[in-house]
């Protein structure tokens, strides 16, 4: 089993489409990251945990499930890096390979010491673009297969049938 732990604000600060939103609509940037990670999870089957730093916010730690993604907001006086290190220790075992997505060099060194592997923000962005392209190709391929008639019929006749199906004259 694979687990990907994502340093949320680090990725938001590194991906161009999320950086544009960060300064004006931070919650929308978070939502977009969660949606993109949901696509990642659905396509690869990898468990994904996104950690957001609430270090300066008052209150207790908040965990929620969104699109089959675990979303964690750290508690007061806890950094995202500290929570990522704890999560890495919690989920790492013989059958589980843990990846941490961050471009924070110090954090990368720490998680290496715990037996996890890292994905830089750039690597994850490239991987995500490849997944999106593959999904697009899969959808196009599937639509070609579904629209192919079982009986050979001329295109003009198919167009007439399609109009009838849609209720057009």
In a domain, 27, yes or no: yes
For residues 116-125, b (16+ Cβ closer than 10 Å) or e, as one string? bebbbbeebb
Beta bridge partners of 144: none
The pTM for the full model equals 0.80
Per the structure, the count of domains in the chain is 1
pLDDT digits (tens, 9 = 90+) for 47-73: 999 999 886 566 667 788 878 899 999
Residue 168 lies in a domain: no
**If we measure between CA atoms, which residue out of 14, 44, 17 comes closest to residue 31?**
17
84 inside domain? yes
Mapped onto helix, strand or coil, the DSSP state of residue 95 is: coil
Does a structural domain hold residue 74? yes
The answer to whether position 150 is within a domain reads: no
Domain coverage including residue 8: 2-133
End-to-end CA distance of the chain: 55
pLDDT in tens, 145-156: 666 667 788 888
Q: Which run of H or E residues covers position 50?
A: strand 47-52
Quick: pLDDT tens for 16-52.
999 999 889 999 999 999 999 999 999 999 999 999 9
Report pLDDT digits (tens) over 89-110: 999 988 999 999 999 988 988 9
75 falls within a domain = yes
Q: Is the pLDDT assigned to residue 113 strictly greater than 70?
A: yes
């Amino acid at each position: 089993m694979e687990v990907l732990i994502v340093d949320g604000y680090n990725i938001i600060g590194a991906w161009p489409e999320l950086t544009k939103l960060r300064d004006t609509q931070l919650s929308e940037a978070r939502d977009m990251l969660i949606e993109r990670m949901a696509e990642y999870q659905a396509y690869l089957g990898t468990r994904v945990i996104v950690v957001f730093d609430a270090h300066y916010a008052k209150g207790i730690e908040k965990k929620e499930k969104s699109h089959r993604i675990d979303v964690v907001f750290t508690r007061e006086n806890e950094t995202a890096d500290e929570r990522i290190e704890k999560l890495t220790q919690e989920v790492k075992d013989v059958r589980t390979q843990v990846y941490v997505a961050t471009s924070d060099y110090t954090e990368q060194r720490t998680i290496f010491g715990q037996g996890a592997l890292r994905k830089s923000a750039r690597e994850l962005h490239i991987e995500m673009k490849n997944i999106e392209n593959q999904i697009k190709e899969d959808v196009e391929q599937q639509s070609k297969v579904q629209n192919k008639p079982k009986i050979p019929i001329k295109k003009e006749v198919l167009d007439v049938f399609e109009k009838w199906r849609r209720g057009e004259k």
